[in-house]
């Protein structure tokens, strides 16, 4: 049955979307979203869902409100489930009620899913509680978007200026002088603490603290623009004491993640927890092979191998997919010892019931060889499930040590397609990118097959962009293109890379 869901997308941090809103996005036929609704939410949508952007930004309307109303009615009238994704909460200065009234008039079903409003979330992320027993026992939410030229204001400025409420003005940056002068003229003292919060709850958040009299001038000097929230009241005094979000070590730092999209989530989530703005630019794509007959034969003959060495999480994944498809489970490896090149690979094995018999101290092929030599690999039959194209260091060194090695491709890495290089260069030029991360040699090679190294050099030489490599092998590949890494952890893992960046 058709229905329109008016969804509150929250203030910007994708983690603040409600579970109910996520569930609706996952089933919707059509998703209509606003400028302030985080694009990350579109990842929850069905692949076949129709996605329509209707954002309004600083008076520039992609679609006027009456046309948005018509769009919702049209899609729902055709039997569609429509998710109308609105920034913040639909009923807090979001015109959600107007859309609901139009739906009712058209005889269509609708449902409202409240969202976390920026009026609450942005101050909380800025260290400003809206109420506090010592400072304020009530809150007023006010639109700052009034036309200053109209003959009479809708606000009771005297009540706002002389009450004890914390005042939160939406969309007030353009009218800061108007708001400031009206509050002071109505009786508010000129040194009342005031704060502007720009892009609250996102990695782009920044805050200024001033007084109600001086904040228009300070905001101009600091270049504050919409979307920004104005908070006025004694509670602003608590910002320095209660601030937590703006102390995150990577807040506002733009980081390019070149890992395959299937693997990027771990690195992205760790960086975002520390405040970074992540730009996914997956240079490689992980693909299954067309023919798995060799893998199926190897699985049938597992008892002939004394060691299986997994060199990546993907190797574990594709090996296990075929293993399970043949009706086997972890018991198939019961007579075979298992090595993992690093903790992430070992963790992938544990999830499938296998505890690695060997994990090297350093997570590169050379260390695997050294460790296995001590464990008596000489004369043993070894299977290495891995990518179709990979470094030959490990199998060649094991053969030199006297092992009988079978290399078994179980997946392949290919150059990612449809990457927007111009958009990435635009981010470089705007100064929004501070780091480019590389987690394997293939990410380096593919990155520079997509982007000419000469186009990156000016930003690196100026110190505006730093290059981060997960380990020495990746760093060596980077040097082929004329760059030395600025950051390289001693622990060649994703955790190590993130710590080194911090």
DSSP calls for 217-237: HHHHHHT--SSEEEEESGGGG
Per-residue buried b or exposed e for 240-277, using 16+ beta carbons within 10 Å of the residue's own CB:
eeeeebbebebbbbbbbbbbbeebbeebbebbbebbbb
Helices (H) and strands (E) in the chain, counts: 19, 21
**Looking at the annotation, which residues are catalytic?**
34, 56, 171
pTM of the model: 0.85
Q: Degrees (nearest 5) of the Cα angle 222, 248, 436? A: 85
Comparing C-alpha atoms, which of 243, 218, 95, 118 is closest to residue 168? 118
Query: What is the structure's pLDDT at 57?
Result: 62
Q: What is the dihedral of CA 222, 460, 201, 45, to 10 degrees?
A: 140
Per-residue buried b or exposed e for 130-168, using 16+ beta carbons within 10 Å of the residue's own CB:
bebeebbeebbbbebebeeeeeeeebebeebbebebbbb
CA distance linking residue 344 with residue 157, whole number of Å: 59
Which residue in the block uniquely carries the two structure tokens 């060495």? 309
pLDDT in single tens digits along all 502 residues of the chain: 799 999 999 999 999 999 999 999 999 999 999 877 777 899 899 999 999 999 866 555 578 889 999 999 999 999 999 999 999 999 999 899 999 999 999 999 999 999 999 999 999 999 999 999 999 999 999 998 776 566 677 899 999 999 889 999 998 898 999 999 999 999 999 999 999 999 999 999 999 999 999 999 999 999 999 999 999 999 999 999 999 999 999 999 999 999 988 788 889 999 999 999 999 999 988 999 999 999 999 999 999 999 999 999 999 999 999 999 999 999 999 999 999 998 999 999 999 999 999 998 877 777 788 888 888 888 999 999 999 988 888 899 899 989 999 999 999 988 888 788 999 999 999 999 999 999 999 999 999 999 999 999 999 999 999 999 999 999 999 999 999 999 999 988 999 999 999 9
Beta strands 307-310 and 337-340 are parallel
């Amino acid at each position: 049955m058709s229905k329109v869901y008016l969804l509150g997308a929250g203030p910007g941090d994708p983690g603040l979307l409600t579970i109910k809103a996520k569930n609706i996005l996952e089933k919707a036929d059509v998703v209509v979203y606003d400028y302030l609704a985080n694009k990350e939410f579109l990842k929850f949508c069905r692949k076949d869902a129709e996605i329509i952007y209707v954002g309004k930004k600083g008076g520039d309307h992609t679609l006027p409100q009456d046309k948005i109303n018509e769009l919702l009615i049209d899609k729902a009238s055709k039997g569609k489930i429509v998710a109308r994704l609105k920034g913040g909460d639909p009923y807090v200065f979001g015109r959600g009620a107007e859309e609901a009234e139009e739906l009712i008039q058209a005889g269509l079903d609708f449902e409202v899913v409240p969202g976390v409003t920026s009026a609450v979330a942005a101050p909380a992320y800025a260290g400003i509680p809206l109420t506090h027993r010592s400072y304020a026992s009530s809150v007023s939410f006010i639109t700052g978007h009034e036309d200053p030229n109209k003959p009479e204001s809708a606000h009771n400025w005297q009540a706002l200026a002389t009450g004890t409420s914390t005042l939160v003005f939406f969309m007030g940056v353009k009218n800061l002088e108007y708001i400031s002068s009206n509050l002071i003229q109505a009786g508010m003292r000129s040194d009342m603490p005031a704060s502007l919060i720009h892009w609250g709850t996102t990695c782009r958040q920044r805050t200024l603290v001033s007084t109600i009299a001086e904040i228009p001038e300070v905001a101009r000097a600091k270049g504050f623009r919409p979307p920004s929230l104005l908070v006025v009241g004694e509670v602003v005094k608590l910002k320095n004491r209660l601030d937590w979000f703006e102390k995150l070590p990577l807040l506002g730092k733009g980081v390019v993640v070149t890992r395959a999209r299937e693997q990027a989530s771990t690195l992205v989530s760790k960086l975002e927890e520390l405040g970074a703005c992540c730009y996914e630019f997956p240079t490689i794509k992980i693909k299954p092979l067309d023919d798995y007959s060799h893998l199926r034969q190897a699985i049938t003959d597992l008892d002939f191998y004394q060691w299986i060495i997994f060199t990546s999480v993907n190797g574990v994944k594709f090996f296990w997919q075929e293993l399970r498809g043949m009706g086997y489970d972890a018991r198939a490896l019961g007579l075979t010892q298992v090595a993992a090149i690093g903790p992430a690979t070992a963790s992938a094995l544990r999830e499938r019931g296998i505890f690695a018999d060997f994990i090297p101290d350093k997570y590169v092929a050379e260390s695997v060889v050294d460790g296995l030599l001590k464990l008596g690999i000489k004369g043993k039959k070894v299977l290495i499930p891995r990518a179709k194209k990979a470094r030959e260091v490990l199998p060649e060194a094991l053969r030199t040590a006297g092992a009988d090695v079978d290399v078994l491709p179980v997946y392949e890495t290919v150059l990612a397609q449809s990457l927007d290089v111009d958009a990435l260069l635009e981010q470089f030029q705007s100064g929004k990118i501070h780091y480019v991360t590389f987690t394997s040699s293939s990410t380096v090679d593919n990155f520079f097959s997509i982007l000419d190294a000469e186009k990156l050099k000016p930003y690196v030489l100026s110190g505006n962009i730093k290059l981060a490599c997960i380990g020495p092998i990746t760093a060596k590949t980077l040097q082929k293109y004329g760059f030395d890494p600025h950051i390289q952890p001693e622990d060649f893992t994703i955790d190590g890379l993130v710590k080194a960046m911090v």
